[in-house]
Amino acid sequence: MKILVCVSKTPDTTSKIAFTDGNSKFDEAGVQWIINPYDEWYALVRAIELKEKDASVTLHLVTVGGADAEPIIRKALALGGDEAIRVNTDNSDSYYIAAQIAEIAKQGGYDLIFTGKETIDYNGSSIGGMVAELTDAPYISLATKFELNGTTATVTREIEGGEEVAEVALPLVVSCQKGVAEQRIPNMRGIMAARTKPLKVVEPVATEALTSIVSFELPPAKAGVKLVSPDNVAELVRLLHEEAKVI
């Protein structure tokens, strides 16, 4: 069985966010980059667990990005991937990215594609569904548990107010979230091995991006806290109505 895990580069959550070029571009100066946590902690680790149970499993990683993404994908290899593929292009359009991943998936004949439920920078949660459509495969999102029996997957996913359990035959695309697996830390053996694992760079296929970023905007600064005496209900109501505008 062949598994493909989608890995993306995102800013560390402690990074200071700023924009340049008239707020149309993310300022990368001084930013610490990490593997998107949903890709690393859940999608990748669950794939590694499946490989550990079945030595015949081949585990590949794919990322869409420039050469600056290679340290990130090397870390992913250190966790347990067999080899990695980097599509040499830098584009934030979800459809464009999904089309590149889908092309890799078609060429590789993968049985199972894992993604994180979303990236922590754009929070689009759209790549998995698009990849599934472009590869003509079933798609299950927001998975909290994934089990495999032969070529049949049993997937528990989060729904409004509860959980849903689905059974589906491979090939399959799944987006993963908390619950699917537990976070792992690369060990020294994995780090050393990752240096020599294959990292293939391919050029992107011709695809038209459907969206472009016009501008970014930081959230407004939080106002100071106002303390209202519990005896002064009228003042609390006035503030909620006139300033907070929630009633």
- Residue 74, pLDDT score: 94
Where is average pLDDT lowest: 50-59, 144-153, 220-229? 220-229
Q: Is the peptide bond before 230 cis (omega within 30 degrees of 0)?
A: no
Most confident of 1-15, 179-193, 229-243: 1-15
Q: What mean pLDDT is reported for the chain?
A: 93
Which of the four pLDDT bands, split at 50, 70 and 90, describes residue 190? confident
AA letter at 216: F
| Structural domains for the chain | 2-218 (3.40.50.620)
Is pLDDT of 104 > 80? yes
CA-closest candidate to residue 156, choices 127, 179, 124 = 179
Instruction: Kindly report, residue by residue over 22-58, the tens digit of the pLDDT.
Output: 898 889 888 999 999 999 999 999 999 999 999 999 9
Please name the residues in contact with 50: beta carbons below 8 A apart, sequence gap of 6 or more. 3, 57, 112, 148
- Residue 143, pLDDT score: 97
Which of the four pLDDT bands, split at 50, 70 and 90, describes residue 222? confident
Sign of CA dihedral 85, 89, 92, 94: negative
Its pTM stands at 0.86
Is pLDDT of 224 > 80? no
Query: CA 132, CA 116: separation in Å to the nearest integer?
Result: 14
Intra-chain end-to-end CA distance of the chain, in Å:
56
Is pLDDT of 7 > 90? yes
